[in-house]
Amino acid sequence: MRLYIAEKPSMGAEIAKCLPGPARRGDGFVETAGGIVTWVFGHILRQAEPQEYDEKYKSWRAEDLPIVPSQWKLLVDDDAIKQFNIIKRLIEQADELVHAGDPDREGQLLIDEVLDYVGNVKPVKRILLNALDEKSIKEANNSLRENSEFFNLKQSALARARADWLIGMNLSRAYTLAAQRAGHRNLVLPIGRVKTPTLALVVRREREIENFHPVDYYTIKAKFHHDKGDFCAVWNPKDIQVGLDSEGRLIDKDIADAKLAEFLDQPHNGLISDYTKTKKQEQQRLPFSLSSLQVLAGKRFGYDPQQVLDTAQKLYEKKLTTYPRSDCEYLPTNQFKDSQAILKNLQAFGDEKLAKWSAGADPIIKSRAWNDKKISAHHAIIPTRVPASADKLSPVERNIYFLVAQAFIAQFYPVHIYNQTKVLIAYKDEQFSASGRVVVDMGWKELYTAQTKDKAEDNSDSQDNNEEDSGTLPAMKKQDHVEYVEGELSQKATKPPTRFTPASLLAAMKDIHKFVKDPEAKKKLKDVYGIGTEATRATIIDDLIKRKFMITTGKKKYLQPTQSAYMLIDAMPDELSYPDFTAIWEDRLHSMADGDGSLEDFITQQVEFTTSLCGKAYGARFQVAATDESGQTTHICPRCKSGVLMKRRGKNGDFWGCSAFPKCRMTCNDKDGQPDLVEAQNRTRNYGNSSGTRAGAVGKKINFEASPFGNPYISEEEMREFNQQFQLMDSFSAAYSGATSTNSHTKFANKANKPTVSAAPLEHMGDNSKALTQDKYLCPKCREGHLRKIKGRNGAFWGCTNYPRCTATFDDEKNMPLIN
């Protein structure tokens, strides 16, 4: 028995229709004379969460990072247990399997991971479906390939999935914990290999706009007379012209006025110093990949990328268009024979323009799109041979189908041919220039003449359109004489860059080489596939909006970052916020799919990268939260200023400690629900004024003042003194965190080791606590703990065993605490 495993139920149903009948529908499968068809629905196996590897990972702790599975674990998704068991039973009964996942990296993994999970050893074939119409399915079923041929594609998909897990699980925890240390207690930061550099593009673009300062500049357009007709040309200032800025723009109006007056002076004789006429042609616009379809649909109709993908998927499932998640813009030559049938169907679609264009198409023309060397597992999105009817489609479906059909029809029109003319005019020792274009054959552009808006949108990011393009020029030649007629001075202003829209951001993700930081990497990455995949880019943009890191504004849905986005990107190292590394990895993933590189080497590199960034996260500096989750003003730690004082409950009552612990060990007592900063100030002052010979004791009183926001403030000089005194307390804590007690003195174990990390280092001392409470010096401050002699970095001193709730310290005098 042959078993087909499709990627989704709709695909399974279409395959079953094309197999010999009769067909009988069962629970989760369809049985036919040609075999049984079953299906998954997305990833019915999911990657295990960290806590499913080890219960300790349920709590997010910096010391556990990075989390790297020794054996990667997959689990059956709770919503898919029933279907998984059906598939498993059918695999056991089958003699041969047919892998019917989508023809891409992710589709390969979806079915392969199920086969691997159940330990399948039976032969597996691969069917590649780029369309779901009957003829396409039957042709594909007659051309089955060995699934083993796609092993490298599966390895590439596994590498992508595991790399995303390592980055997402570890760095989301690492940077969320860093944000919490700055007082952002309820903020969860989703860090992603593609998501983070994508958000950074929006943040940087917004800052370019915020920091943009418009510059006024002036241009002069002159009208010249030639025997064959008048034309306009633009003055090109020399590099040495006074009044130019660094970009070569004339910014001095007085000089511009003077030049305009100079040009008007007699004589008016000029000369054509150069004249070139070049015949040029533009090849037909290629059919669509998903990304190019999403970009144009966004510009033409304002659709967001996810909406375009969803609509293309619906058209695919209705058998009207080919596979939608394609990253290819070329077509296989063996499908050229279907062109006449498709063009004929488009005449009857019900759209006047498509009917006219398809009727005028020449099915003999073979454009550059038909190229087998450019085809991988799938091809460009085009209409199928199944007739479509406009009145049976929704408005969005009609528009997307229109774009797909328009691009397909364009392949059967001639190339666009025009003459490009460039003229240079010498006048009063200055140079003017003009260019013009004369269309020889409109060709395929006949289909796009109504969409002049497309060109304007394509050039929306440029500062200026071609100033010297004057349209049609009169026939002329070099050395012809011309006469200056008049000039016009125009004041212009530089414009800020345009905000991203979902469509233009998706285009930026695809052409990511334009945004990489390293110039050498920029050259290498020009031909990569971008960051993300055709199927995930729209989802990533949509997720950033849903998580409120970006908002859309205006009719064009311009993207603007929120305050959380600024905070996140500002805390990220360049390796995460710039797309260089991600783009290089995408290139390696594609190379792996072609057999170049191994899964093991790639994951090893990812682990090293993740480990490095987890270390950087520990030192990340986030903007300190001004208010807590209830809206109350926070108390910024007066010692480190990178954390906030958080109320904590200890076994002896409430106290306040810095959220940046253990980097900062600032503590103070609780007074009426607020940190007692005055008491902390007095304690520190008394400590500095106490007698003794320890080096570093500071006697100056630290002056805490209330800032306008109610937070404690001390000067930079006082902060240094305050920190110096608290360093001794840190020594006290570090020593006790590894102490063992014997009779009359304390021995310190692991002096070179890192102090034990806990909310209160001396709160849980195990067997030592009983011995410590037997000491004879009761702490005069809290009257709960006892004083113990500590060997600090600046000499011996005495501290309370109730630290950090009690931070009393006393000088040592003849092995006794000096208590005033």
Residues noted as catalytic = 323
Order of strands across the sheet that contains 35-39: 24-26, 29-32, 35-39, 2-6, 96-100, 124-126, 145-146
Among candidate residues 8, 88, 74, 75, the one with its CA nearest the CA of residue 41: 8
Our CA dihedral for 473, 477, 478, 484, rounded to 10 degrees, sits at -50
Evaluate the omega torsion of the peptide bond into residue 66 and state whether it is cis, within 30 degrees of 0. Answer: yes
Specify the DSSP class assigned to residue 490: E
Q: Do 460 and 558 meet the contact criterion of CB atoms below 8 Å apart?
A: no
Q: Do 499 and 209 meet the contact criterion of CB atoms below 8 Å apart?
A: yes
As beta bridge partners, residue 510 has none
Among candidate residues 403, 400, 411, the one with its CA nearest the CA of residue 338: 411
Among candidate residues 98, 121, 97, 101, the one with its CA nearest the CA of residue 111: 101
Specify the DSSP class assigned to residue 239: T
Q: Distance between CA atoms of 347 and 360, rounded to whole angstroms?
A: 10
Our CA dihedral for 328, 330, 336, 340, rounded to 10 degrees, sits at 90
Q: What separation, in Å, do the N-terminal and C-terminal C-alpha atoms of the chain show?
A: 93
Chain center to CA of 691? 59
Q: Do 527 and 194 meet the contact criterion of CB atoms below 8 Å apart?
A: no
Q: Distance between CA atoms of 16 and 4, rounded to whole angstroms?
A: 9
Residue count of the chain: 820
Number of Cβ within a 10 Å radius of residue 135: 14
Q: Do 76 and 45 meet the contact criterion of CB atoms below 8 Å apart?
A: yes
Q: Do 344 and 434 meet the contact criterion of CB atoms below 8 Å apart?
A: no
What is the helix, strand, coil percentage profile of the chain, to 5? 40, 20, 40
Q: Distance between CA atoms of 129 and 138, rounded to whole angstroms?
A: 10
DSSP 81-139: HHHHHHHHHHHHH-SEEEEE--SSHHHHHHHHHHHHHTT--S-EEE---S--SHHHHHH
Tally of CA atoms within 13 A in the half-sphere of 812 that contains its CB = 16
Which 3 state secondary structure label does DSSP give 51?
helix
Name the residue type at position 292. Answer: S
Q: Distance between CA atoms of 424 and 487, rounded to whole angstroms?
A: 16
Reading phi first (left if > 0) and then psi (alpha if -120 to 50, else beta), residue 275 is in beta
Q: Distance between CA atoms of 564 and 777, rounded to whole angstroms?
A: 51
- Phi, psi for residue 269 in degrees, rounded to 5: -75, 130
**Residues 668, 672, 675, CA angle at the centre, nearest 5°?**
25
Which 3 state secondary structure label does DSSP give 160?
helix
- Phi, psi for residue 543 in degrees, rounded to 5: -65, -40
Handedness of CA 407, 409, 412, 415 (dihedral sign): negative
Q: Do 760 and 804 meet the contact criterion of CB atoms below 8 Å apart?
A: yes
Strands annotated E in 442-566: 481-493, 550-553, 558-561
- The two tokens of residue 544 are 């950033």
Among candidate residues 7, 474, 596, 488, the one with its CA nearest the CA of residue 230: 474
Among candidate residues 269, 188, 255, 185, the one with its CA nearest the CA of residue 225: 269
- The two tokens of residue 240 are 């040495």
